[in-house]
Chains A and B, each alone.
Chain A
Amino acid sequence: MTALLELRNCSKVYKSGFFSPKVTVALDDFSLTIDEANPTITAVVGESGSGKSTLGSLLMGFIGPSSGQVFYRGKDMTTLSGAERWQFRQDVQAIFQDPFAAYNPFYTVDHVLTVPIRKFGLARNKEEAREKMGEALRKVGLRPEEILGRYPHQLSGGQRQRIIVARAMLLKPKIIVADEPVSMVDASLRATILESIYTLHKELGVSVLYITHDLTTAYHVSNQIVVLYKGSVMEGGEVSNVVKQPQHPYTRLLIDSIPWPDVSLQWGKEPVIKDDGSSPTTTTGCKFASRCPHVMPKCREVAPTFFEVNSQQASACYLSESSPALAKSDLQRVLNKA
């Protein structure tokens, strides 16, 4: 069976500067498969600079990999025909981080709904289009009469983001790349938006790539999780396993830094070591070595491969060396068990 979308050993390298280019590896040897038959929600967790947004752009076809390949329905993205590209456009949609910037300030919010309806021929006439828009908006808990005809700045952040979710519902894509969909929305509204994304996944069988820096929401929404640091996967697997028994020191640090809404659960068990810059993204060693409290000499020389801590969790850290090793491209096997 061919996967709907597959990243195979993808790397993305950026060079800046003309004479002595500064090389940044945004994504390093990354593989991921999204099946049509078995829709999942995959959380990609990382801080800024982890390559998570690069990953999103790759999946949406906005950029190509520097090395490795992206396959859509078994065909290399670079060899797609016009019709296949058009199909890809419809199949892969996005929910954006900034619910304001996703709107063209010149138009009313209707624009983000009417254009794809027209372009993808989703309605035969104006009435049908209006009906479909109304239906999608109601599904995400909005009243169409309060929304249509308004300008983006006249609506609240929560409303704007829900319209984008409604847009995704309308287009019935196969994959949604949600890049930090709630990080700019009030905490009290996050739950509602995440819930509608989840409904989208459940009811329409859409696979969601949930890109975030927030492990708590990732834990609640997703089935499987991939933790990225400076472009490399640190840990991956079933989400409860990873969040509740983190194996990689980086995952532990991330979880320890979450401000829990609980007065008795305090920050600060894991010390935060500042990055001294000794592990650039181009290093051959482990990229987390310069901040790791458990760093060993070999960490700085050769980056560890994955170790299968249990059937549903793999960690790229020598601390888990006693577990069986797993090739980089085989992470999907562990993820699939989630």
Chain B
Amino acid sequence: MSADSTGRSGVASGTKPVLSVKDLCVDYYTDAGRLRACDNVSFNLYPGQRLGLVGESGSGKSTIALALMRMIKPPGRISGGRVMVGDDDLTAMSDNEMRSARMRLIGMVPQAAMSALNPVIRIRAQIQDVLQVHEPNLTYSQVQARIIEVLEAVELRPEVANLYPHELSGGMKQRVCIAIAVALRPKVIIADEPTSALDVIVQRQVMETIGRLQREMNIAVVLIGHDMGLMAQFVDHLAVMYAGKLAEIGPTPTLFAKPNHPYTHMLISSLPTLGQKGVFRGIPGITPSLLALPTGCYFRTRCPYVMDVCSSEAPTQVAFDGGHVASCHLSSVPGGLTGRVEAERDAEARLNPANAEKGTGEAGPNKTGGFS
């Protein structure tokens, strides 16, 4: 795959993963009982790779972000599994060791830049804090030089250091957060919906900056979000979360071209494109409560291709070519998901030939009715 505007590129496989998550479980203990917000999630991230973590709210994607930073607070806790950054096992570290590993090994770009920055402290001091805590041996002039360096890295003028957060625009604040996240040159950056509060043009600029830094510093990025469009533009691997479990993971082009989990398929086709005007394909129903999960496959209550086996057995992970893994019973059915989707599209075409002609070749499983 060729490099594009955000600099996404192929990944050299065979190297050692920089971030390795194995059977990660996070539980929250509430008055109503224990709920598992992250259920046996495993994935590897290689140097220079960009992984997208998508899901609806409540799918556990932000829980994973917090768990990777070891920032899960009571009543929640990491109840199993391992998180390795290079050779360091984050889950085995003491709180003190973790404090020094945070930002140094693994940085975070938060969702709300507004509340992540201290409103009464100048930008300079906020970056300085991070540098001094983690690298106490730096001299004053070295610290100042580093501050200017990281600000320039995120395309901000050095004078920004003298401003307060409220004097910056939303995009600039997010850039400051990125500067803080990369100030110690971590191996991995977790970006939790970094652009959800920004306009499209600013979003594109900020993502281009994250992409450029990722390439220049060879950092691995985990981008968390719910916008499949942004994922298509930015990440090279995609993990789809549903109700705390990993539904599907694989290279982005493969997932978009041939998803093997109905949820992935519906997420992609729920987004409007310039194809059929006025056809919306929402995903009906709501995410099940983590306290009252259905038996078998968690997605069966909303799945248009539900089968008998789905309510009795939870699907296991099935591996396809090229590191593509999905947990769906359809994988063991001849033709799989693709077969079902095509059959449905043919049926739709017979019923309504005019509509099918206009189609983008991506007829969704649940047509919610065309209007224009």
Contacts and interface: CB of A to CB of B under 8 A. Distances in A.
A/B touching: CB–CB < 8 A: yes
Interface in B234-287: 234, 252-253, 256-257, 266-268, 270-274, 277-284, 286-287
A261 B229 contact: yes
Most A CB within 10 A of own CB, among B56, B231, B233: B233
Interface stretch (A30-38, A163-171, A211-219): A211-219
B228 interface: yes
Contact of A195 (B57, B231, B280, B286): B280
B368 A195 contact: yes
B70 interface: no
Given A156-B58, A188-B56, A258 B277 contact: no
B199 A213 contact: yes
A268 B56 CA distance: 27
Nearest to B269: A261
A272 to B, nearest CB: 6
A156 B200 contact: no
Interface string A146-170: 0000000000111100000000000
Contact of A259 (B204, B253, B266, B267): B204
B351 interface: no
A126 to B, nearest CB: 29
Q: Which of A157, A195, A257, A262 has the most CB of B within 10 A?
A: A262
Nearest to A269: B5
A202 B371 contact: yes
A257 B201 contact: yes
B40 interface: no
Contacts of A261: 228-229, 231-232, 256, 268, 271, 273
Contacts of B286: 156, 158-159
Given A47-B199, A47-B201, A191 B270 contact: yes
A64 to B, nearest CB: 27
A210 B272 CA distance: 16
Contacts of A244: 274
Contacts of B149: none
Interface string A190-207: 111111001000100000
Given A263-B232, A263-B256, A266-B4, A187 B280 contact: no
B9 interface: no
A263 B371 CA distance: 27
B200 A47 contact: yes
B6 interface: yes
A121 to B, nearest CB: 33
B11 interface: no
Nearest to B199: A47
A219 B229 contact: no
Interface in B41-75: 56-58
B93 interface: no
A187 B371 contact: no
Given A220-B277, A254-B200, A260 B369 contact: no
B368 A187 contact: no
Given A195-B369, A263-B232, A214 B200 contact: yes
B226 interface: yes
A267 interface: yes
B290 interface: no
Contacts of B126: none
B138 interface: no
A151 to B, nearest CB: 15
A115 B227 CA distance: 36
A128 interface: no
B5 A258 contact: no
A259 B233 contact: yes
A301 interface: no
Contacts of A221: 278
A259 B252 contact: no
Contacts of B256: 261-263
A152 B252 CA distance: 36
Contacts of A198: 278, 371
Given A259-B204, A268-B5, A272-B201, A187 B277 contact: no
B144 interface: no
A188 B270 contact: yes
Contacts of B279: 220
A257 B229 contact: no
B294 interface: no
A104 interface: no
A191 B272 contact: yes
A186 interface: yes
B206 to A, nearest CB: 11
B268 A192 contact: no
Interface of B: 4-6, 56-58, 170, 199-205, 208, 226-234, 252-253, 256-257, 266-268, 270-274, 277-284, 286-287, 368-369, 371
Given A219-B277, A257-B204, 15 more contacts: A47-B201, A186-B57, A216-B272, A220-B272, A240-B277, A243-B274, A258-B229, A259-B200, A259-B232, A261-B231, A261-B271, A262-B256, A267-B233, A268-B5, A268-B6
Interface of A: 47-48, 141, 156-159, 186-195, 198, 202, 213-217, 219-221, 240, 243-244, 253-254, 257-263, 266-268, 272
